[in-house]
Every structure is written in C-alpha cells, then in structure tokens.
Amino acid sequence: MRLDRKLLLIAPTIVLVCVVAGMLYAAAELHVLAAVGDSWQARNDFVAAVERGEKPLAEHQAIDLLHYAFEVEAKRTAAIVAMRDLLIVLGGIGAASCIVLAFGVRAVPREHWPRLSLGRRPAP
C-alpha cells in the first residue's frame, strides 16, 4: 500500500491543531492558578488582625494554618512545573509537526497547487 501524499499534510496539521488546543488549555490553567492570588489581600488582612490581637487564634490552629500554607505552596509549585513540562512537550511536538509539514509540502508536486492569477488574465 502506497502512502498518500495528502496524508503527509493532513496528519501533521491535525497534530498542530491538538498542540494549539493543549497550549490554550495550559494557558487557561495558568490563568486559574494565578487568579488564586487575588484573595491574597484578604488572607493577609486576617493574619494582620490575628497579629494585632483583634482575632483569636489558638496554637494548634496556627500550626494547622502553616501546614495548610505549605501544602498549598507544594501543590502550586507542582502544578507550575507540570505546566512548564507540558508546554515544552507541546512545543517539541509542534516543531516536529512543522518540520514534517515542510517536507510534506515540498513532496507535493507543483501542478497540484492552486494557481493564483492576481489580476493577470489566464492563458488561452
């Protein structure tokens, strides 16, 4: 069975579409991750109120708060590392697809390409 030349163009194009979708997904997830920082002021105000003695906080509650903060920071760091790795892999796949597309385009004979007249009259 002979490999169709159009497949050389269609398959990498589909892969590139998936890569772009993956990059958009990663960007959306990074936006959600960054949006968590919007509540930083409220958390900082709570800690400041505890520091001033306006709100009570027991020692075990403070320790639980620290453990929670460390756990959140560890998960956030892991998520950022995973997103970075995903973007690196998607970038590599996208580059490979572009290379395959370049070779695929070169493999298709010129006679199959559409002819653009750009205002010129076609030959009779």
Structurally, the chain folds into a number of domains equal to: 1
Q: Is residue 124 domain-resident?
A: no
Report pLDDT for 115: 58
Q: Give a yes or no: residue 123 inside a domain.
A: no
List the structure tokens of 78: 């892991």
Is residue 122 one of the residues assigned to a domain? no
Give the max Cα distance, the chain: 93
Residue 99 lies in a domain: yes
Q: Give the closest residue to 100 by CA, choosing from 4, 9, 2.
A: 9
Does residue 59 form part of some domain? yes
Cα torsion 41, 47, 49, 52: sign: negative
Q: What is the dihedral of CA 124, 117, 16, 87, to 10 degrees?
A: 160
- On whether the CB atoms of residues 19 and 90 are closer than 8 A, the answer is yes
Report the alpha-carbon angle 42-65-58, nearest 5: 100
- The predicted structure's pLDDT at residue 106: 76
pLDDT value at residue 1: 44
Query: Does the residue 12 lie in any domain?
Result: yes
Q: Is residue 37 situated within a structural domain?
A: yes
pTM of the model: 0.62
Residue stretches of the chain with pLDDT short of 50: 1, 112
Tell me if 101 is assigned to some domain: yes
pLDDT of residue 66: 86
Supply 6's token pair. Answer: 């159009």
CB 29, CB 83: distance < 8 Å: yes
Domain span at 55: 5-108
